[in-house]
């Protein structure tokens, strides 16, 4: 097993799946309010994260284990399922009002393939940093984002993308209409924006976010 406290190793799990798993293993009927108390967040946040199919972090699994006195974490990951992804330590994509890209220095981070949604050895991945709070609670300031590089595919509605617009980098949910792209944040404090047909040429898709790495230090 490769020990790395800042990377989630193991099978991915969404909040709705976590509620079912706790209910089964604790022999209790767990609702959203109970999970919110366990994780130290509001019930509305739990509801929003379920709606957005937010994944559970190792820290949250550990909190649930301690709170409900059940075993949830899986066994150590087989190192055969570990890949090393380029981590661009000085590249920042904004979950707010836009950030510039600095130097392109990089190193390698080990990541379990099981945490990457739709993983394929034929796809190109990289890791960048997130700044800002417009995608909270799905993505928080300081999270590392695994990006599946764009290969000319159509935008998948309501998926999270990293893109460049007017020389600034953003992480947002995108949806495609006939002649415009709708840009949405998970944080309700941020308004919905659109890029119309006249400005679509200025939109450069970098890739789709396929995993979020939480800093557990």
pLDDT tens per residue, range 123-155:
999 998 888 899 998 998 888 899 999 888 888
Identify which of 163, 171, 111 has the alpha carbon closest to the alpha carbon of residue 136: 171
More confident position, 15 or 66: 66
Joined tokens for residue 57: 């972090």
What is 79-213's CATH number, 3.50.50.60, 2.10.109.10, 3.40.462.20, 1.10.645.10?
A: 2.10.109.10
Phi, psi of 31, deg, nearest 5: -115, 180
CA atoms within 13 A on the CB side of 216: 17
Q: Which residue has the tokens 């699994």?
A: 61
Residues in the chain, how many?
Answer: 217
Which part of the chain is CATH 1.10.260? 15-68
Which part of the chain is CATH 2.10.109.10? 79-213
- Over 70: is that where the pLDDT of 36 sits? yes
CA terminus-to-terminus distance, the chain: 18
Q: ∠116-193-146 over CA atoms, to 5°?
A: 15
- Over 80: is that where the pLDDT of 119 sits? yes
DSSP run (H or E) holding 203: strand 203-213
Instruction: Answer whether 184's CB lies under 8 Å from 134's CB.
Output: no
Q: What is the value of pTM for the model shown? A: 0.65
CA dist 65 and 72 (Å) reads: 6
Task: Identify the three-state secondary structure at position 63.
Answer: helix
- Over 60: is that where the pLDDT of 59 sits? yes
CA distance readout (Å), 215 to 21, 59, 75, 114, 141: 24, 9, 20, 18, 10
Per-residue DSSP letter, 96: S
Q: Which of 82-91, 107-116, 173-182 has the highest mean pLDDT?
A: 173-182
Q: What is the pLDDT of residue 1?
A: 26
What is 15-68's CATH number, 1.10.3470, 3.30.450, 1.10.260, 1.10.1790?
A: 1.10.260
What does the pLDDT look like over 141-191, one tens digit per residue?
Answer: 888 899 999 888 888 899 999 998 887 888 999 999 888 999 999 999 999
Joined tokens for residue 188: 């309700």
């Amino acid at each position: 097993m490769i020990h790395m406290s800042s990377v989630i190793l193991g099978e991915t799990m969404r909040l709705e799946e976590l509620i079912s798993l706790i209910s089964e293993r604790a022999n209790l009927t767990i609702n959203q309010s109970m999970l919110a108390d366990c994780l130290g967040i509001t019930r509305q946040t739990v509801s929003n994260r379920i709606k957005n199919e937010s994944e559970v972090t190792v820290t949250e699994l550990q909190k649930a284990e301690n709170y409900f006195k059940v075993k949830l974490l899986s066994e150590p990951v087989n190192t055969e399922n570990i890949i090393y992804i380029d981590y661009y330590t000085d590249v920042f994509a904004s979950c707010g009002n836009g950030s510039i890209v600095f130097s392109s220095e990089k190193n390698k981070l080990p990541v379990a393939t099981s945490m990457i949604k739709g993983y394929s050895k034929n796809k190109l991945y990289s890791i960048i940093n997130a700044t800002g709070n417009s995608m909270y609670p799905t993505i928080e300031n300081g999270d590392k984002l695994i990006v599946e590089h764009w290969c000319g595919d159509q935008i998948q509605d309501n998926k999270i993308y990293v893109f460049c617009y007017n020389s600034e980098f953003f992480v947002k949910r995108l949806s495609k209409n006939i002649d415009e792209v709708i840009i949405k944040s998970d944080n309700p404090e941020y308004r919905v924006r659109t890029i119309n047909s006249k400005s679509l040429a200025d939109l450069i898709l970098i890739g789709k976010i396929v995993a979020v790495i939480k800093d557990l230090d």
